């Protein structure tokens, strides 16, 4: 039998001499603290929630495109995710760390183009583009239960238009005040008709513009006047579909 002799380049069990200074500072049994305070922990938990919302929203958009989920399921889930996203960014410290969507995506290596577009618009696709399941306004005059239901939907949409225009007259020009009201307008309109009536696109454009504003940011006097004009024109276009 030949005796085994260590190769000249192979370390022997006794060839490693630990650094006394390093071994004195590293304790393998010591718990490593990732955060130094409860506030810092809450901050990173919120950022993690935003990360998961973006991933989930991107998957939901793909599922909707592939017709894996129904319009109702998609609308409900997408609306909830958008609300959670906005709620998370309502915290000032989270918003400062987040900076903006593109910065956050670069920091954490995200792409998610479908989620990015949905967050930019701030509306489910079924609201942005009228649902094909919406009842036609032309049935409003028909008798029976269907006609009554359609009539109530028309009334709700009309009231939402008037409420929004009245809010502008009362100088309610912040994003917080206007975005929810304008969202009610387009959602109620979509329940009446899936037709692309004149100036309907203006409602969507303003929803996107408001969505990209900071929560407390306000429209200028000229912007408010232009918004009022565009929504009044959209209201007239909506009423024209009822004739």
Residue 65, pLDDT above cutoff 90? yes
Q: Place 207 in a pLDDT band, splitting at 50, 70 and 90.
A: very high
Residue 193, pLDDT above cutoff 90? no
Residue 32, pLDDT above cutoff 70? no
Question: What are 218's two structure tokens?
Answer: 């306000």
Q: How confident is the model over 34-46, as a mean pLDDT?
A: 78
Q: Distance between CA 45 and CA 42 in Å, rounded?
A: 5
The size of the chain, in residues, is 243
Mean predicted lDDT score pLDDT of the chain: 82
Residue 174 bridge partners (DSSP): 218
What is the per-residue pLDDT for 91?
85
Do residues 169 and 235 both lie within one domain?
yes
Do residues 154 and 226 both lie within one domain?
yes
Q: Tokens 């995710």 map to which residue?
A: 81
Do residues 216 and 160 both lie within one domain?
yes
What is the per-residue pLDDT for 202?
94
Residue 61 DSSP code? H
Q: Which of 19-33, 35-49, 85-99, 204-218 is least confident?
A: 19-33
What is the per-residue pLDDT for 151?
85
What is the per-residue pLDDT for 29?
62
CA-nearest of 114, 116, 1, 103 to 47 is 103
Q: What is the domain range of residue 49?
A: 38-128
Question: What are 199's two structure tokens?
Answer: 């100036």
What is the per-residue pLDDT for 143?
34
| Residue 137 · residue 165 · CB < 8 Å | no
CA-nearest of 49, 52, 119 to 79 is 119
What is the per-residue pLDDT for 144?
33
User: Is residue 174 situated within a structural domain?
Assistant: yes
User: Is residue 30 situated within a structural domain?
Assistant: no
The alpha-helical segments, DSSP class H, found in 26-70 are 38-65
Q: Distance between CA 164 and CA 180 in Å, rounded?
A: 10
Q: Distance between CA 207 and CA 93 in Å, rounded?
A: 26
Do residues 145 and 192 both lie within one domain?
yes
CB atoms within 10 A of CB 68: 12
What is the per-residue pLDDT for 10?
46
Map 96-137 to HEC letters: HHHCCHHHHHHHHCCCCHHHHHHHHHCCCHHHHCCCCCCCCH
Percent of the chain with pLDDT over 90: 52
Q: Place 25 in a pLDDT band, splitting at 50, 70 and 90.
A: low
Q: Distance between CA 227 and CA 203 in Å, rounded?
A: 9
- Of 97, 128, 159, the residue that ends a domain is 128
Do residues 178 and 221 both lie within one domain?
yes
In this predicted model, what pLDDT tens digit does every residue of 133-191 receive, in sequence order? 444 444 444 333 334 347 889 999 999 999 999 999 999 999 989 999 999 999 899 88
For the CA atoms of 62, 51, 214, 223, the dihedral, rounded to the nearest 10 degrees, stands at: -10
Q: Please provide the DSSP assignment of 185-230 as one string.
A: HHHHHHHH--S--TTHHHHHHHHHHHHTS-TT-B--HHHHHHHHHH
pTM over 0.75: no
**What's the structural domain count of the chain?**
2
The dihedrals phi and psi of 38, each to the nearest 5 degrees, come to -65, -35
Do residues 172 and 207 both lie within one domain?
yes
In this predicted model, what pLDDT tens digit does every residue of 91-120 receive, in sequence order? 888 888 898 899 999 999 999 999 999 999
Question: What are 196's two structure tokens?
Answer: 């692309």
Q: How confident is the model over 216-242, as a mean pLDDT?
A: 93
In sequence order, which residues have a C-beta less than 8 Å from that of residue 200 and are 6 or more positions away?
A: 130, 189, 234, 237, 238
């Amino acid at each position: 039998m030949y005796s085994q002799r260590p190769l000249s380049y192979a370390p022997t069990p006794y060839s490693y001499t630990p650094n006394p200074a390093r071994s004195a500072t590293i304790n393998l049994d010591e718990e490593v603290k990732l955060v130094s305070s409860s506030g810092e922990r809450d901050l990173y938990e919120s950022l993690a929630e935003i990360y998961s919302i973006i991933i989930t929203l991107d998957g939901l958009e793909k599922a909707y495109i592939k017709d894996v989920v129904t319009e109702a399921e998609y609308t409900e889930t997408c609306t909830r995710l958008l609300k959670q996203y906005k709620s998370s960014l309502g915290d000032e410290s989270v918003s400062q760390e987040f900076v903006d969507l593109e910065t956050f995506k670069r920091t954490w290596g995200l792409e998610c183009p479908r989620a990015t577009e949905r967050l930019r618009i701030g509306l489910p696709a079924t609201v942005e583009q009228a649902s094909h399941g919406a009842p036609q306004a032309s049935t409003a005059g028909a008798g029976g239960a269907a006609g009554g239901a359609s009539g109530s939907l028309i009334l709700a949409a009309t009231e939402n238009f008037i409420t929004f225009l009245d809010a502008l007259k009362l100088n309610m020009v912040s994003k917080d005040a206007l975005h929810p009201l304008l969202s009610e307008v387009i959602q109620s309109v979509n329940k009446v008709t899936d037709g692309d009536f004149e100036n309907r696109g203006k409602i969507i454009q303003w929803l996107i513009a408001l969505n990209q504003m900071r929560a407390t940011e306000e429209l200028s006097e000229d912007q408010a006047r232009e918004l009022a004009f565009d929504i009044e024109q959209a209201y007239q276009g909506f009423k024209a579909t009822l004739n």
